[in-house]
Chain A
Amino acid sequence: MKLFRIIKNGVRDAFKSVYRNFSLSFASISSISFTLVIVALALLVAFNVENFSKKAGDNVTIVTYLTLGTTEEQAKEFEKTLKDMDNVQNKWTSQTPEERKNALATEDDFLSSVATLIDKPEEVFHYRYDINVKDIDKIDETQQDLKSLDVVESAEYGDETITKMISMFDMAGKVAIAIALVLMVVTVVLIVNTIKLTIFSRKREISIMRVVGASNLTIKNPFIIEGFIIGLFGSIVPVLVTIFGYAAFYEHLDNGHFMTFWLEFINPYPFVYWVSLMIVGLGVLVGMFGSSRAVRRYLKV
């Protein structure tokens, strides 16, 4: 009950103070809004890049042929090596020479007649493995690792433009995050100054509170709540931009498909709500962090 009363008084004081120092509060809110819009963009890009990479990992296969005349034991050995490779998904498909011969036999008449001519498939067919990677960014390394094995004849994957595009998106996401971080620092500084002004106008009150035995928490409380309110108000515009902006963008792209069938943007619902939640959380945290920094100095005796 006591905590509830303290919080209730804190909320009352915080709203009063936002209203009283409206111009500086407004500056803080605008700054937080601007920052969070950039953060929202960074998040949307980052999540989509993540999604592309995952989808691409499933769609881009490294087709690996083992050298001709590989024995069954050697193939088993190779599979063990595959299992130990970090970036390889544990669900490759494989064809033994025998299986490839049989597959050939199910083709048209000509090919199936060719298949019947083959006595020893291991002398004609290579073992074939279709391998998917976990992280498409590292597909080059995985390819090199495979090629370096003695038993491997060749290891190739298709479309290089895909991986290039993904790393481009990835870069864009990272740049956005870097910009957002810098802006975040600016925002914290602005909030610290806003709260300092509030503290200044209530200096007497704080000193009396200290004298009569208010705990640090009680004294801090209204300022932290003020930071919370600034953060909350500051996240309104970014959330609207996220929800409506992303949905409109998605519609515009013909339901999320872009250039190739698998380069697909994340469906806006409920994705945008999650991103919005993160934005609000971040705004509120930045606000509270800024204000607790500002008030800390005044709590030392």
Chain B
Amino acid sequence: MAELITLSNVNKKYKNGVTAIYDLDLKIKKGEFVFIIGGSGSGKSTLIKMLYREEKPTSGEINVGGINVAKLRNSRVYKLRRKLGIVFQDYRLLPQSTVYENVAFALESIGAKSSDIRIKTLRALELVGLKGKIRNYPDQLSGGEQQRVAIARAIVNDPKLILCDEPTGNLDPKMSLEIVKVLEEINKTTGTTVIMATHDKDIVNKFKKRVIAIKQGRIFKDYEEGKYDNEAI
């Protein structure tokens, strides 16, 4: 399978002098499901942020789906973002909008046709199992359901890649499991690559996916069908 993501010699030093990533090389193939683990301040969030060009690497090359992310101009970032879906720990939903509107908003923002918006939005909501709650507002939903809305929003434009930055960080174990199951389902049925940063031990151990452990800005371990390694933290 072809590589979807290639990082070579990537360094990231923040303006305050903190170096978050040291000389990182990484390849991720199309259709993979990858956990990125590591303690607080290990650099896993920075890594995810560099993949969707929220942060720029100080040096090195990042290629995501054929886009040279490190050299991408601000005005062109949207081209990258349209190829990926992003899920955050805090869901980032619009509180004044319904579930349906929240998901449709992603398509409206990129100027999709209204007939397409309807079809795609409903399909995405069905995939995450929320078709029965499209008229509800976020505050009428549980945390897990809100996160599923966010996932629906992330997948509604058929991305090649879903990036999740601690998506289960605010959820109890049962709901966390539910969310990762949804992500796994999407990964299996659509072949979308999923990268999930987490420090949820149980989840990582349960799903037996590729695990990349990051420690002090370097890749500490990288195993296929890995488990949560306490040393990594």
Interface residues of A (CB under 8 A from B): 1-3, 5-6, 9, 204-205, 207-216, 218, 299-301
CA distance A214 to B81 in the complex (A): 8
Q: Which of B7-15, B31-39, B103-111, B200-208 contacts A (4 or more CB under 8 A)?
A: B103-111
Contacting pair A212 B109 (CB below 8 A): yes
Contacting pair A211 B81 (CB below 8 A): yes
Size bracket, chain B contacts: 20 to 34
* Cross-chain pairs A/B with CB under 8 angstroms, 25 sampled: A2-B111, A5-B111, A5-B114, A9-B108, A205-B94, A208-B92, A209-B109, A210-B77, A211-B52, A211-B81, A212-B105, A212-B106, A212-B109, A212-B153, A213-B78, A213-B80, A213-B106, A213-B109, A213-B110, A214-B78, A214-B109, A216-B78, A301-B53, A301-B54, A301-B56
CA distance A205 to B97 in the complex (A): 11
B107-142 CB mask vs A (1 if < 8 Å, else 0) is 011110110000000000000000000000000000
Q: Which of B45-97 contact A (CB under 8 A)?
A: 52-54, 56, 74-75, 77-83, 86, 92, 94
Contacting pair B92 A204 (CB below 8 A): yes
CA distance A300 to B75 in the complex (A): 8
B147 within 8 A of A: no
Apart from A213-B106, A215-B78: 14 A-B pairs, beta carbons within 8 A = A2-B111, A207-B92, A208-B109, A209-B109, A211-B86, A212-B81, A212-B82, A212-B110, A212-B157, A213-B82, A218-B109, A218-B110, A218-B111, A301-B54
The distance from the CB of B154 to the nearest CB of chain A, in whole angstroms, is: 8
List chain A residues, Cβ under 8 A from B157.
Answer: 212-213
List chain A residues, Cβ under 8 A from B106.
Answer: 208, 212-213
List chain B residues, Cβ under 8 A from A218.
Answer: 109-111
CA distance A92 to B109 in the complex (A): 67
